[in-house]
Structure 1
């Protein structure tokens, strides 16, 4: 396995301050009370899917593993905590030696999930598990939201290529994470070189309108690009007049022109006209790429258009209107001591309304119907029914503080394709609806 396939983790900074202050103050109080070492189980899950979504997509697991591995407090961080009077001396001593030493299980990256699915389970002392809450949720909520949007767009695209190009529409670090999540969800390439470098995602890109405007004529701009990048390049044809630009593009590059990109106008109408014109000019193999504020609905509306690829930016990196999955990380079981033999007691929040949770260390399995199609997400705290033993969803990610489940990003991408294909056909509908699978507790 090529190490580049696993993502370049060299020089990754500590993630220890990607947290909320109350995680540290809880540790301080628990240390003083003598309860910080109690064996505990935390689970990350969502009580509901974003409105109208039929399924969720697990993304960010690989980044969570990086975050856990790099969660430690250096001298500068400890000095900050001391100078700001955030925690006391004994807590600083604890944090100075902190390394997660517990176990983590979770849904493998690319898998789908539903309300209540125990997407990630951390087991260890209360103190070491609670410190990871914020960074785990930050990653999973962001990446899973982007992957879910990408999956919907991928389904709408029906096999046509998808280009992630949202770097300029979000925070520079979020852009890299978004490209990674989009690739898991079904996108083929990214324009973001940092994402390509870090995660080995294929990158693409040619020119913007500024390049055409730089030159004295559109022909000069096309000639400069073809001379530099070859006839297989993609020429942007909507700076001035699309019809004239397509004619010039084929005259400059010949019928071997790789593609033309359309970034404005009535994309359905323009795509048909451009396809007809290209064919009449003998450029029958030249592809058409469309961009311009696309989302899954716009992509679906272009299903009958002669479009070969879609470039998506803003709507993708903002989760297509759902930028978070509302995942939470809750204590669901704890012992009365650090002794591994001590019994785990189920615990749960019993709030009024929709914020209550279910206690107990959980397993999850997906039940299939007689045709092999998923029909329910089954979650339990007791013995796993024999008929579901081979359908369990959680896999071991960290054992005794050591990561044991790194995998190439392509594995997560392929897993998602398979998981989505195993859902009922109604999962692919873009209309608003309930989760495509019910969640059953046993």
Structure 2
């Protein structure tokens, strides 16, 4: 696999075909109708959170900026579209010069969101904005789902670090994005080297059961690992008998042994027994790492166990039961002509089947209580009330087609920790419940 597949700065591939067929047929029809150049506003939001979840976590914004920047129709892409007659020649000529030259605003990455929150707003001509729908949604829906699961897990883990270990449980490219989103949500490291290379996330890893089974004796495997990686390594102790393995591990590495990993069994019971045994053997500083299909509920159940770190795979990269956030990308305002000075008119699909949309370009702010904690998510059109003017959530991400909102991943991770800490305490409860903040709509003049 070429490194370019990861979006690395080596002949970065176009993202133009990360879209749906009908985006291009809509464009062709709009070009013929003379409406493709009308100024439009599209917004990304979700009508509801996954069942039982109390808050969402926005992740993937940085990846969206890369995708928008690389959304271009190169000769090979145009050749494919021509060969398969996806659109006509006039549309192909328009696509050949495509570059997004509009503006994007959105919640800063790592921020929490609620039903109706306009987490991203894309403005420009209809033609340039409509093409971005699928790639934006695919990134935000995936990454935000992983980040939300990671946030719940990191909240349950408290001060104990979490290791992302899900690469083998999902698509190889999704695994890289999942590692990034998990880091945003509070994970400390990943086992995925591509994620470490691409995003600078700390990587960790030592050995699997296959390494133990390769050797004639478990002790031989431990000896080989310690000689190669040092006494601070983590030895996997549940291949055969845990108690015998712990004894052999300490005998081989001494009390300086870094950690032991437990990957099966009754983790609560085994962790207590291993901790007692390590202490009796003088390895009081040796840490205990547990893995084995953990989710936020299993992590919470181990809060009283002598566990020092958790490794999480399958449940994390599948969103812990909610692999998407059901975000949508909807046209909320459009001009009546291609004149850049033409005013915007709010538009919205007629409500049916629970698919409610609110027309008009939105702003969003968060109302606080007397103690400074978040109390209400306020979403509105028109003028921003004076008391909320300094609490607006949307920030500028792209100006005239140029990304202006890129930031270090650690800053995003820190923002999420601060945003979650500013929510009511009930936000971190794992029991099912309604969104921890209600969404209040404030409607401005009809022309807003």
Q: TM-score, normalised by structure 2?
A: 0.97
Q: Does 1:145 align with 2:145?
A: yes
SS of alignment partner, residue 128 of structure 1: helix
- The aligned counterpart of 1:233 is 233
- The aligned counterpart of 1:40 is 40
- The aligned counterpart of 1:281 is 281
Q: Distance in 1 between matches of 2:262 and 2:98?
A: 53
Give the CA deviation at 1:382.
Answer: 1.1
- The aligned counterpart of 1:4 is none
- The aligned counterpart of 2:345 is 345
Q: Distance in 2 between matches of 1:264 and 1:57?
A: 31
SS of alignment partner, residue 31 of structure 1: helix
Could you tell me whether the CA contact under 8 Å between 1:156 and 1:296 is conserved in 2?
Answer: yes
- The aligned counterpart of 1:417 is 417
- The aligned counterpart of 1:290 is 290
- The aligned counterpart of 1:432 is 432
Could you tell me whether the CA contact under 8 Å between 1:102 and 1:123 is conserved in 2?
Answer: yes
Give the CA deviation at 1:342.
Answer: 1.1
Give the CA deviation at 1:401.
Answer: 0.2
Give the CA deviation at 1:8.
Answer: 4.9
In the TM superposition, 1:325-404 aligns within 5 A as 325-404=325-404
SS of alignment partner, residue 354 of structure 2: helix
Could you tell me whether the CA contact under 8 Å between 1:60 and 1:143 is conserved in 2?
Answer: yes
SS of alignment partner, residue 359 of structure 2: coil
SS of alignment partner, residue 355 of structure 1: coil
SS of alignment partner, residue 353 of structure 1: coil
Could you tell me whether the CA contact under 8 Å between 1:8 and 1:199 is conserved in 2?
Answer: no
In the TM superposition, 1:29-178 aligns within 5 A as 29-178=29-178
Q: Distance in 1 between matches of 2:53 and 2:9?
A: 33
Q: Distance in 1 between matches of 2:76 and 2:278?
A: 61
- The aligned counterpart of 1:3 is none
Q: Distance in 2 between matches of 1:121 and 1:409?
A: 21
Could you tell me whether the CA contact under 8 Å between 1:222 and 1:249 is conserved in 2?
Answer: yes
SS of alignment partner, residue 430 of structure 1: coil
- The aligned counterpart of 1:258 is 258
- Give CA-to-partner distance per residue, 1:148-189, whole Å, 9 cap, x none: 000000000011010000000000000000000000000000
What is the root-mean-square deviation in Å for CA atoms of aligned residues? 0.8
Q: Identify unmatched segments of 5+ residues in structure 1.
A: 1-6
Give the CA deviation at 1:356.
Answer: 2.3
Q: Distance in 1 between matches of 2:94 and 2:386?
A: 43
- Give CA-to-partner distance per residue, 1:168-217, whole Å, 9 cap, x none: 00000000000000000000000000000000000000000000000010
- The aligned counterpart of 1:192 is 192
In the TM superposition, 1:303-314 aligns within 5 A as 303-314=303-314
Q: Distance in 2 between matches of 1:378 and 1:42?
A: 19
- Give CA-to-partner distance per residue, 1:119-157, whole Å, 9 cap, x none: 000000000000000000000000000000000000000
Could you tell me whether the CA contact under 8 Å between 1:8 and 1:197 is conserved in 2?
Answer: no
Q: Distance in 2 between matches of 1:350 and 1:271?
A: 56
Q: Does 1:203 align with 2:203?
A: yes
Q: Distance in 1 between matches of 2:316 and 2:233?
A: 25
- Give CA-to-partner distance per residue, 1:261-280, whole Å, 9 cap, x none: 00000000000000000000
Q: Distance in 2 between matches of 1:130 and 1:318?
A: 28
Q: Distance in 2 between matches of 1:161 and 1:44?
A: 32
Q: Identify unmatched segments of 5+ residues in structure 2.
A: 1-6, 443-448
- Give CA-to-partner distance per residue, 1:283-318, whole Å, 9 cap, x none: 000000000000000000000000000000000000
Could you tell me whether the CA contact under 8 Å between 1:64 and 1:136 is conserved in 2?
Answer: yes
SS of alignment partner, residue 329 of structure 1: strand
Length, aligned pairs only: 436
Q: Distance in 2 between matches of 1:338 and 1:224?
A: 71
Q: Distance in 2 between matches of 1:302 and 1:339?
A: 62
Q: Distance in 2 between matches of 1:257 and 1:391?
A: 50
- The aligned counterpart of 2:3 is none
Q: Distance in 2 between matches of 1:124 and 1:352?
A: 28
Q: Distance in 2 between matches of 1:24 and 1:217?
A: 62
Post-superposition, which runs of at least 4 consecutive aligned residues in structure 1 deviate over 6 A? Answer: none
Q: Distance in 2 between matches of 1:369 and 1:338?
A: 44
Give the CA deviation at 1:352.
Answer: 1.4
Q: TM-score, normalised by structure 1?
A: 0.98
- The aligned counterpart of 1:407 is 407
